[in-house]
Amino acid sequence: MMMNGGGATEIENLRVGVDVGGTKIEAVLTDAAGAILASGRRTARKGGNEVVEDVAAIVRQVAGMRFGDVRSVGIGIPGLVHRDTGQVENVVNLGIEKLELGGRASGVLGLPVWVDNDVNAAALGAYGTLPERLRQGRMAFVNLGTGLAAGFVRAGLVERGDTGALGEIGHLPVDSNRVACKCGQRGCLETACSGGALRRMWPMADPPLPDILAKAAGGDAEAGRVLGILLHALADVVQIVAQGEDPSVIVIGGGVSRVGSPLLDALRGELRRRESSSGFIAGLRLTERLRLADPSIPIGALGASLIAC
């Protein structure tokens, strides 16, 4: 706490953001301006009771002695999220069919708790890390994690659509390889362009993408084939996002993107090949819109803190 000149106590407006994933939970303590003051991580456990316990524990961990100054908590989590109630459904990797996460976490912590989809939270976190000059228009965030999805932010606000399905690009059945998807369709982009897809196509390394890139650069035909599938699908994603939503910036994030510049360079190469045969695609200036999320910043947790009112 801080003391003002008159000696009265001024309560700091601190918030905690929590990013709940299938294998880990990250959290940050932020100030009113969104600056990260502290961060923490713990292993995720399956089950609704366990998730509530782990969220409460990591909130207290990152807040430490300043817990009394925390005004609210935001949580980003996969699955179907009912933002008005804080209920989440079908969090498959954590074994949750239905959980009153917001209400239960609020009851344990004694604080207001806001819950949103994890990709929306990460999109808001990515937006917050952009230079001011890039925050003037709409930003698209493409999350290359275990699955594939996108989030959209304009003027600091997440765009959601009418039903909450905005950004579910991973289940557009347009990939020519026609691989069966867990959603029941075939040819979903997620089956060619995600961490799960890469592990299926390249099970000999974990994480697979660095090994694929290195071997493809060395002339390995199979690595080149797998990389070609990934890049074709990822370029399709960029086109779909650009032509459907027309954002000024497209940020690539998620676990797969942590390989960094080699992925971005390869993607730009694929897009340039498309530009060379299409004046229309060249006019979209797609390569100029692309950015990588900063892997040193826990954007999921940061964005979760920003959804907390």
Residues 6+ apart with CB under 8 A from 116: 74, 75, 76, 81, 83, 158, 304, 307
pLDDT band at 11 (very low <50, low <70, confident <90, very high): low
Structure tokens at 195: 């961490």
Order of strands, sheet of 96-99, starting from the edge strand that comes earlier in the sequence: 80-82, 87-91, 96-99
- Distance (Å) of CA 123 to CA 194, 237, 250, 261, 280: 17, 16, 10, 20, 28
Whether the per-residue pLDDT at 275 is higher than 80: the answer is yes
What is the spatial distance between Cα 156 and Cα 61, in angstroms, rounded to a whole number? Answer: 28
Per the listing, tokens 């089956």 go with: 191
**Mean per-residue pLDDT for 128-143?**
90
| Secondary structure class of 298 (helix, strand, coil) | coil
pLDDT at res. 2? 30
- pLDDT band for position 130 (cuts 50, 70, 90): very high
pLDDT at 139 over 50: yes
Look over the chain and give the mean of its residue pLDDT values, rounded to a whole number: 92
Alpha carbon 90 to chain centroid, angstroms: 18
Q: Are 254 and 207 in contact (CB under 8 A)?
A: no
**Structural contact between residues 77 and 95, judged by C-beta atoms closer than 8 angstroms:** no
Query: Over pLDDT 70: what percentage of the chain?
Result: 96
pLDDT at 9: 38
Relative orientation angle of helices 221-245 and 208-217, to the nearest 10 degrees: 110
Confidence class for position 137, pLDDT limits 50, 70, 90: confident
pLDDT reading at 111 higher than 80: yes
Weakest-pLDDT range from 38-52, 120-134, 161-175, 186-200: 161-175
82 and 25 Cβ atoms separated by less than 8 Å: no
Task: Tell me the per-residue pLDDT of 84-100, one tens digit each, with 9 for 90 and over.
Answer: 899 999 888 899 999 99
Closest CA to 199 of 145, 157, 250: 145
Beta carbons of 77 and 115 less than 8 angstroms apart? yes
Domains of the chain: 2-121+298-307 (3.30.420.40), 133-292 (3.30.420.40)
**Of 252, 261, 116, residue with least CA distance to 194:** 252
E-state strands within the chain: 2-3, 9-10, 14-20, 24-30, 36-43, 70-77, 80-82, 87-91, 96-99, 113-117, 138-144, 148-154, 157-159, 249-253, 290-292
pLDDT score recorded for residue 22: 84
- Is pLDDT of 214 > 70? yes
Closest CA to 251 of 126, 108, 102: 126
Per the CB < 8 A criterion, the answer to whether 230 and 111 are in contact is: no
In this prediction, what percent of the chain has a pLDDT beyond 90?
A: 79
Band (pLDDT 50/70/90 cuts) for residue 165 is confident
Q: Which of 62, 92, 56, 58 is nearest to 77 (CA)?
A: 92
pLDDT at 7: 38
